[in-house]
Structure 1
Amino acid sequence: MSNKVIQAIYADDDVLLAAVKKVRAAHHHIEEIYTPFPVHGLDKAMGLAPTRIAIASFIYGCIGLCVAVAMMNYIMIEDWPQNIGGKPSFSFLDNMPAFVPIMFELTVFFAAHLMVITFYLRSKLWPFKEAENPDVRTTDDHFLMEVSASGNIEALSAFLQETGAVEVKVSEKH
């Protein structure tokens, strides 16, 4: 297995999208694509599987709701019952309408914060991590596609040039 990649730089997102389709049709492996902004349809063109973050969000929201119910039942019913505004704390069900805002807020709080943590862990974005961006122009106005360098590198470079790349270079995989 080669540790070299061919980096093709594109100046337009539409050209990049067409190039990704051509590279995949030619059965070359795309390692990564760096873009300055999200490109609509790029995930489908690359053949990436749909994300499961919505399922994780639902689970995190359910955890938040359970924590809210357990916390309010313990604090307001069992540990320190108080008569607030003429509402005695005899049971959780009697007071549930007053607890709905707290349940909603903790559901959203848990879902949002745990989704962010999951995204960072899944993306391997640790604190003080060095940037992996191979070309600084991809943060401004260019798009970069890294393709595994296998077989004839010159032919693959010429193929990528034909797809509309403004620059093609071979480099070591980082």
Structure 2
Amino acid sequence: MEASKVIHAIYNDDDVLMSAVKKVRAAKHHIEEIYTPFPVHGLDKAMGLEGTRIAICAFLYGLVGLTVAITMMNFIMIEDWPQNIGGKPSFSYIENMPAFVPIMFELTVFFAAHLMVITFYLRSRMWPFKKAENPDPRTTDDHFLMEIGVHGNEDALETLLKETGAVEIKLVDKAH
């Protein structure tokens, strides 16, 4: 198990944090993570994070739901147990498709929503009984924590962070 050092810079204002992120990135330091008590608008852009691809996943999951709906309804209502309901013929799926549209819509939405939630939890590594990774409990209340990797540049980094308005700076050994 390899240990590396990180600096935890704590801020008490989100505007000061945003300014600090921009200055730290301009100085070419790598920000490992930022912990905030609430979503900070524009923070992902300021950190230079890539956009999410969850919309592509949602579309693909919706297609899976639509495919399941069409296959299920064709098997149940046409092949396995055809019934004459209200005088509607059950000779082919295409003839009955207008009646199946609500089911196709609902299963498309159902699969997209549920599989997106599962994907989000897996991608975020948030599974049941997982221990919280929050390094400072104050970040759930009113403080903001910026975690920056240290590569032999602690003094320059600490000076920079003090200039950006950090109220507290700690050097921490972080196990990977």
Q: Superposition pairs for residues 6-155 of structure 1, below 5 Å?
A: 6-155=7-156
Question: What SS does the aligned partner of 2:119 have?
Answer: helix
The letter of the residue matching 1:70 is T
> Does 1:169 find its partner at 2:173?
no
Task: Give % identity.
Answer: 76
TM-superposed deviation, 1:63: 0.6
Distance 2:146 2:58 in 1: 31
Distance 2:51 2:117 in 1: 18
The answer on whether the counterparts of 1:2 and 1:149 sit within 8 Å (CA) in structure 2 is no
Question: What SS does the aligned partner of 1:172 have?
Answer: strand
Q: Which 5+ residue runs of structure 2 have no aligned equivalent?
A: none
Distance 2:153 2:101 in 1: 64
**Paired residues, what number?**
174
Distance 1:143 1:168 in 2: 12
Structure 2 CA distance for partners of 1:35 and 1:159, relative to 1, 3 Å = same
Q: Indicate the RMSD between aligned Cα atoms, in angstroms.
A: 1.3
Question: What SS does the aligned partner of 1:37 have?
Answer: coil
Distance 1:2 1:41 in 2: 31
Distance 2:57 2:106 in 1: 18
Distance 2:21 2:3 in 1: 21
After superposing on structure 2, the runs of 4+ consecutive aligned residues of structure 1 that deviate more than 4 Å are none
Distance 2:166 2:46 in 1: 17
The letter of the residue matching 1:127 is P
What are the superposed Cα offsets for residues 45-100 of structure 1, whole Å, 9 maximum, x if unpaired? 11111110000000000010001000000000000011112212111111111101
Distance 2:40 2:17 in 1: 9
Q: Which 5+ residue runs of structure 1 have no aligned equivalent?
A: none
Question: What SS does the aligned partner of 1:6 have?
Answer: strand
What are the superposed Cα offsets for residues 101-153 of structure 1, whole Å, 9 maximum, x if unpaired? 10001000100111111111111112111000000111111110000112231
The letter of the residue matching 2:130 is K
Tell me whether 71-80 or 135-144 shows the greater mean CA deviation: 135-144
Distance 2:74 2:97 in 1: 10
> Does 1:157 find its partner at 2:162?
no
TM-superposed deviation, 1:2: 6.8
The answer on whether the counterparts of 2:3 and 2:173 sit within 8 Å (CA) in structure 1 is no
